[in-house]
Homo-oligomer: A and B are copies of this chain.
Amino acid sequence: MISTRGRYALRVMIDLAEHNDGSHVPLKDIAERQEISKKYLEIIVKDMVSGGLITGVSGKGGGYKLCREVDDYSIGEIIELMEGTLAPVACLTDNAEVCPRQEICSTLPMWSEFYNMVHDFFYNKKLSELVSGTSDYVNYVI
């Protein structure tokens, strides 16, 4: 399951994209709109700043804003930044220690195939597709 870190970060990004008029959006406003604790969001948003997704400015009139065009964000980089990895098993992460069973593991190829599929899915999905009014997905019903 995707944790609140990833899910909330995504909602912050969408919120910022929907209020992307050049000004800075206070976290207080985002927290109220998204109905998420502002204090908890601070922790999440901190990592989004250091991860290069958004920028923050202190003081009156300050807040956060996107630092790129909306089309230049993939969902994959947002989730991967917040969740650490998209890999289904530790063996497939970047800094994985070499598994002694690697050569004989019957499941690794499947995990690898799955990982590629997941990676493609999220990196091909753009933030702009989730922003209200810019996609048919808005009226999608499950």
Q: Which residues of A contact B (CB under 8 A)?
A: 1-2, 7, 10-11, 14, 35, 75, 85, 87-90, 92, 101, 106-112, 114, 117-118, 121-122, 125, 129-132, 137-138, 140, 142
Contact = CB atoms under 8 A, between A and B. Distances in A.
B110 A1 contact: no
B75 A110 contact: yes
Top 5 nearest A-B pairs by Cβ distance?
A: A109-B140, A109-B137, A112-B142, A106-B130, A2-B88
A77 B112 CA distance: 19
A107 B7 contact: yes
How many copies of this chain?
A: 2
Classify the secondary structure of A's interface with B: helix
Given A7-B89, A7-B107, A108-B142, 4 more contacts: A1-B88, A35-B101, A110-B129, A118-B118
Nearest to A85: B1
Contacts of A129: 110
Contacts of A140: 109, 112
A65 B18 CA distance: 56
A107 B10 contact: yes
